[in-house]
Amino acid sequence: MSTSHPFLQVENLARVYPSPTGGDPVTVFDHVNFRIHKGEFVCVTGHSGCGKSTILNILAGLDAATIGNVFMDGREVAGPSLDRGVIFQSHALMPWLTVLENVSFAVKSRWPSRTKTQIRDHAMRYIELVGLKGAEHKKPSQLSGGMKQRVGIARAFSIEPKMLLMDEPFGALDALTRGVIQDELLKICAETQQTVFMITHDVDEAILLSDKIMLMSNGPHARIAEIVNNTLPRPRERSAIHKHAHYYPIRTHLVDFLVSRSKLFGGQRDAPDAPSSPSVFDPEDMVEAAPAEATVVPLPQAGKPHIHLVNA
Amino acid sequence: MKRMTLTLGQKSALLSLALFVVFLLVWQLATQPETQGLAADVDPEYAALMGGGTASSASSFPTPVQMAQTVWERLSDPFYDNGPNDKGIGIQLAYSIARVLAGFFLAAAVAIPLGFVIGNSRVFYQALDPYVQLLKPISPLAWMPLALYTIKDASASSIFVIFICSLWPMLINTAHGVANVKKEWLDVSRTLEVNPFRKAFRVILPAAAPTILAGMRISMGIAWLVIVAAEMLVGGTGIGYFVWNEWNNLSITNVLFAIFMIGVVGMVLDSLFGLLGRRVAYQE
């Protein structure tokens, strides 16, 4: 994680939708700037309607920004690419294909000249990685929700993308299944050093998985209001992370943001579309200064910027 | 109490059988020749003069037994050919089926690619919609004079009529199926940079296949209805011509037999498409 050369760079992104009733167009988000480094796991959270999914779709190349640019590996993102794997919330498996065929379809798209056996072996390796060996000839309709999402994960990882984009991948799963799959994802990401951008509504999920959590204020004119450095050491264990001194400061900070600060943020600017920079929260500062109470950073004063931010 | 524990299938089979027996009974009663009454009252000589003695009052509508005999005779020699007005039922049906298949597959060759284009493009969809809406409700037989005038061949004209009636359900269903392919599947293929050709055949076609096949099934059903009428008009060969010819011969038995065979073939064609439809069906 060097701060010198960002892998993904998002500059001044904004999305304006024409009003459905014919009135003024609605700016869902604007002045969105952030950087993601190679191997970093970044979670984004915020209330519904702040444009998280739109940002993810723009990163994927499935949607276009009204203003602003996205650069990955020095090149501008201008459309979908095999360099960015997407895990959809609805798993998006093709129901007429088996598990193996679904993954092979992706592998064949990535390496069209490979032989059938090579494609099959490659796909099987990723099916095994998500623990679905033995179910490869089943159709998605024969699988549980958790298993379907695992196929989605296997498919996204199988093309060995430079970056993985996940839109609330576990939102539709029950808590137990979600926990199991999160652990698996944690393991796979540790093995592959995958760069990940993930949307989640689940604070605990964000803490367990991420290196950095971006908090978005409410729309319209939603922004990345705060960035939280997740300083919990890796490897992380679900059963042990809450014992770490940084766990509760981070968690309280996130929950407080979602409960109260997310809606106040917009009101603190001179004009709705005035630029703003996110403040950075780092639990290391907090624990050293005041271990117990002062977990909330006052908004206008940014904490020590551990990561370089692009100014709007 | 074993009789009370019949399965659903057994119950419906029994009911089907009972309905068939009742049907035969009613048929038999309705067509029974009243020979005894006539023999007693009428002078046999007079009866003979009136044409046919004791059997004179038997109508040309057959009894179930006569019908069964005819069915058996005709089915045991389906492919004889004694000139234009006397061919086996197999030959007549083969003519009809060949025409239906020719018209149907010509229509599929036009409707499915065109439906793909229409389903993929809002502009095409809206541009062609008024034409489809105008042409769809036209009875296919209304095209017959135009077809005979331009094509100048009876058999080709009936194929054209089948073509035109098969076209619309397949076109509309293909366009509908293609337009309603789930966005998430298209998004997946976009992120995987799947080329348009592969996307069409590996994503859109299988996704829309159940809808397309439902359209083909409807088209086939309509085509089989229309071929009978078309062949009655153009004559020469085919099951429709056979029905009309036997009506001119006043052979109600043969007409009934033809009706029965039209039903059997229609059922087989429909269940073939039902079978195909199940093969491409998927459960989400």
Report domain extents, chain A: 1-83+194-312
∠B41-B46-B52 over CA atoms, to 5°? 100
Give every CB contact of residue B270 below 8 A, 6+ residues apart in sequence: B217, B220, B221
What number of CA atoms fall less than 13 Å from residue B151's CA on the CB side?
Answer: 16
Question: In this predicted structure, which of A133-142, A157-166, B28-37, B121-130 has the lowest mean pLDDT?
Answer: B28-37
The ipTM estimated for the assembled molecules is 0.83
Per DSSP, the residues of B249-274 read: TT-HHHHHHHHHHHHHHHHHHHHHHH
For residue B139, give the 3-state DSSP assignment. coil
> How far is Cα B154 from Cα B158, in angstroms, rounded to an integer?
6
- CA-based torsion, A71, A75, A81, A83: positive or negative: negative
> To which H or E segment does residue A26 belong?
strand A26-36
> What residue spans of chain A are helical by DSSP H?
52-60, 99-110, 116-129, 145-158, 175-192, 203-209, 247-256, 262-264, 283-289
Across residues A125-148, what is the average pLDDT?
Answer: 93
Q: Which residues of A touch B209 (CB under 8 A)?
A: 96
Q: Residue A236 corresponds to which tokens in the numbers above?
A: 């992380």
For residue A92, give the chain B residue with the closest CA.
Answer: B184
Contact between B213 and B124 (Cβ < 8 Å): no
First and final C-alpha spacing in chain B: 43
> To which H or E segment does residue B156 belong?
helix B154-179
Q: Is the minimum CB–CB distance between A81 and chain B shorter than 8 Å?
A: yes
In angstroms, the Cα distances linking A239 to A74, B88, B179 are 39, 82, 48
What pLDDT score does A301 carry? 41
Q: Is the pLDDT of residue A71 over 80?
A: yes
What pLDDT score does B42 carry? 61
In angstroms, the Cα distances linking B251 to A247, A249, B50, B263 are 94, 96, 20, 19
Q: Are residues A86 and B203, on separate chains, in Cβ contact within 8 Å? A: no
Contact between A107 and A115 (Cβ < 8 Å): no
> To which H or E segment does residue A12 belong?
strand A8-17
pLDDT in tens, B7-65: 999 999 999 999 999 999 999 999 887 655 545 566 666 666 665 544 444 567 899 99
> How far is Cα A73 from Cα A77, in angstroms, rounded to an integer?
10
Long-range CB pairs of B194-203, under 8 A, 24+ apart, other chains included: B194/A109, B198/A109, B200/B116, B202/A105, B203/A94
> How far is Cα B206 from Cα B177, in angstroms, rounded to an integer?
10
Q: Which residues of A touch B283 (CB under 8 A)?
A: 95, 139, 141
Contact between B274 and B216 (Cβ < 8 Å): no
Q: Is the pLDDT of residue B180 over 60?
A: yes
> How far is Cα B72 from Cα B78, in angstroms, rounded to an integer?
10
What are the backbone angles phi and psi of residue A215, rounded to the nearest 5°? -110, 125
> How far is Cα B33 from Cα A260, in angstroms, rounded to an integer?
95
Q: Which residues of B touch A141 (CB under 8 A)?
A: 282-284
> How far is Cα B266 from Cα B244, in angstroms, rounded to an integer?
19
SS3 content of chain A, % helix, strand, coil (to 5): 35, 20, 45
pLDDT category at A22 given cuts 50, 70, 90 is: confident
Q: Is the minimum CB–CB distance between A63 and chain B shorter than 8 Å?
A: no
What pLDDT score does A290 carry? 47
Across residues A133-154, what is the average pLDDT?
Answer: 93
Q: Are residues B193 and A82, on separate chains, in Cβ contact within 8 Å? A: yes
> How far is Cα A116 from Cα A120, in angstroms, rounded to an integer?
6
Q: Are residues B207 and A96, on separate chains, in Cβ contact within 8 Å? A: yes
Angle between helices B239-248 and B205-234 in degrees, nearest 10:
30
Q: What percent of chain A has pLDDT over 70?
A: 90
pLDDT in tens, A77-103: 999 999 999 999 888 999 999 999 999
What pLDDT score does B120 carry? 93
What pLDDT score does B2 carry? 53
Contact between B197 and B191 (Cβ < 8 Å): no
Q: Are residues B207 and A94, on separate chains, in Cβ contact within 8 Å? A: yes
What pLDDT score does B43 carry? 66
- CA-based torsion, B95, B96, B101, B102: positive or negative: positive
In chain B, where the domains are located: 2-59, 89-280
| Average pLDDT across chain B, whole number | 90
Across residues B150-178, what is the average pLDDT?
Answer: 95
Three-state SS annotation for B189-217: HHHCCCCHHHHHHHHHHHHHHHHHHHHHH
Nearest to B190 among A62, A94, A139 (CB): A62
Q: Is the pLDDT of residue A261 over 90?
A: no
Contact between A25 and A14 (Cβ < 8 Å): no
Question: In this predicted structure, which of A128-132, B102-106, B134-138 has the lowest mean pLDDT?
Answer: A128-132
Q: Which residues of B touch A105 (CB under 8 A)?
A: 192, 202
Nearest residue to B28 via CA among B71, B62, B54, B57: B62
pLDDT category at B284 given cuts 50, 70, 90 is: confident
What are the backbone angles phi and psi of residue B218, rounded to the nearest 5°? -65, -45
pLDDT in tens, A277-286: 788 888 877 6
> What residue spans of A75-199 are helical by DSSP H?
99-110, 116-129, 145-158, 175-192
Q: Are residues A92 and B184, on separate chains, in Cβ contact within 8 Å? A: yes
For residue B85, give the 3-state DSSP assignment. coil
pLDDT in tens, A175-205: 888 898 899 899 888 888 999 999 999 999 9
SS3 content of chain B, % helix, strand, coil (to 5): 80, 0, 20
Q: Residue A163 corresponds to which tokens in the numbers above?
A: 């970056």
Peptide bond into A220 cis (omega under 30): yes
Nearest to A95 among B188, B198, B283 (CB): B283
Write out the CATH class of domain A1-83+194-312.
alpha beta
Nearest to A105 among B202, B207, B282 (CB): B202
Specify the higher pLDDT residue, B175 or A221. B175
The verdict on domain B89-280 having CATH code 1.10.3720.10 is yes
Q: Residue A256 corresponds to which tokens in the numbers above?
A: 């407080």
For residue A91, give the chain B residue with the closest CA.
Answer: B184
Q: Is the pLDDT of residue B227 over 90?
A: yes
pLDDT in tens, B71-95: 999 898 888 888 888 888 999 999 9
| Average pLDDT across chain A, whole number | 86
Q: Residue B67 corresponds to which tokens in the numbers above?
A: 């019908």
Nearest to B187 among A84, A85, A92 (CB): A92
Nearest to B191 among A60, A95, A139 (CB): A60
Long-range CB pairs of A296-302, under 8 A, 24+ apart, other chains included: A296/A252, A296/A253, A296/A256, A296/A261, A297/A226, A297/A253, A299/A225, A299/A261, A299/A264, A299/A265, A299/A268, A300/A268, A302/A277, A302/A278
For residue A225, give the 3-state DSSP assignment. strand
